[in-house]
């Protein structure tokens, strides 16, 4: 079932979103300051490529104050808009029965794109 969901996801926009995250990640990695944020774009981008069958969880242990500071910077510089975009698409897809699995994936991406530092995908 995860394979079918991932294939449908890729056909209806998942691959385009993946490319957007990768392009932004590469652009951020061109600067020294942007490397941690580019790595988070790569992490979110890989999740958008195949979201079915993967889960997001908090990193076990103490992540320290650096991840909190980076999350605040991320939210201020654009993470809020990415999260709102995933929220809007999730709500739109949740209106239909067929769109519920895809809405769930958008809500998962919303959670990760709002505060990506200190989270891992498994």
- Along the 122 residues of the chain, how does pLDDT read in single tens digits? 789 999 999 888 889 889 999 999 999 999 999 999 999 999 999 999 999 999 988 888 777 788 889 999 999 988 899 899 899 989 998 998 889 999 999 999 999 999 999 888 88
The distance between the two most distant Cα atoms of the chain, rounded to a whole number of Å, is 45
Q: What is the pTM of this model?
A: 0.85
List helix spans (H) across 1-122.
2-9, 15-29, 35-49, 64-74, 80-94, 100-114
Residue-wise pLDDT for 72-104, tens only, equals 999 998 889 989 989 998 999 899 888 999 999
């Amino acid at each position: 079932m995860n394979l079918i969901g991932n294939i449908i996801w890729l056909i209806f926009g998942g691959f385009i979103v993946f490319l957007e995250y990768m392009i932004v990640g590469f652009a951020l990695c061109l600067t020294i300051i942007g490397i941690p944020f580019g790595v988070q774009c790569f992490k979110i981008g890989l999740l958008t490529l195949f979201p079915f069958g993967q889960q997001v969880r908090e990193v076990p242990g103490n992540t320290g104050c650096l991840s909190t500071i980076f999350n605040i910077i991320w939210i201020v510089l654009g993470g809020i808009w990415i999260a709102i975009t995933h929220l809007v698409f999730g709500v739109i897809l949740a209106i239909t029965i067929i769109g519920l699995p895809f809405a769930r994936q958008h809500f998962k991406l919303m959670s990760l794109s709002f505060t990506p530092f200190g989270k891992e995908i498994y």
